[in-house]
Structure 1
Amino acid sequence: MTNAQKYDRIFILNLKVTKEDLPGLKYHGIKQWDSMRHIDLVTDLEETFMIQLDTVDMLDLSSYEKGKEILAKYGVDVTE
């Protein structure tokens, strides 16, 4: 499984969305992405990619696309 597939899977499983829903997905943009799911996303990203996000980056994780930018800062390429 590629990093891009792992990244997508984290969002799909935590937020109960489809791959087609991912582009444009935003925090609080859907009912499922609440504060509890946000913590789950952060935890799964950290565990999957073996990184430790700074608090600022945890709070800045405001969309599916922004998450890709944040992971790139930690040397994790999730582009296809």
Structure 2
Amino acid sequence: MTNTEKYNKAFVECFGVTVEQLSGLKYQDVQAWDSVGHMGLVAALEDAFDIMMDTDDIIDFSSYEKGKEILSKAEYGVEF
């Protein structure tokens, strides 16, 4: 499974959306992406990529695209 597939899978499983809905998806665009859902997504991504996200990055993680940008940082080493 590619990193993009792992990333997409976390969103699909946490929020019940389709892959087609991911582009442009932002925090609170879907009912499931509330504060509790956000922490579930973070936990799923940390498990999928075997990382531990910094608090500032968790707070800044505001959209599908922003999440890719954050995970691409050198400290996480996730390549898309």
TM norm structure 2: 0.94
For the residue of structure 2 that corresponds to 1:38, the secondary structure is: helix
Q: Any gaps of 5 or more consecutive residues in structure 1?
A: none
Structure 1 residue 47 corresponds to structure 2 residue 36: no
In the TM superposition, 1:1-80 aligns within 5 A as: 1-73=1-73, 74-77=76-79, 79=80
Equivalent AA in structure 1 for residue 24 of structure 2 = G
Aligned positions, number: 78
Equivalent AA in structure 1 for residue 72 of structure 2 = A
Q: Aligned equivalents of 1:43 and 1:50: distance in 2?
A: 10
The structure with higher relative contact order (CA 8 Å, sep 6+) is: 1
- Cα deviation code 1:5-57 (max 9, x no counterpart): 01000000100000100001000122111111100000011111011100000
1:67 is displaced (CA, Å) by 0.5
Identity %: 54
RMSD of aligned residue pairs (Cα, Å): 0.7
Q: Aligned equivalents of 1:49 and 1:4: distance in 2?
A: 11
TM norm structure 1: 0.94
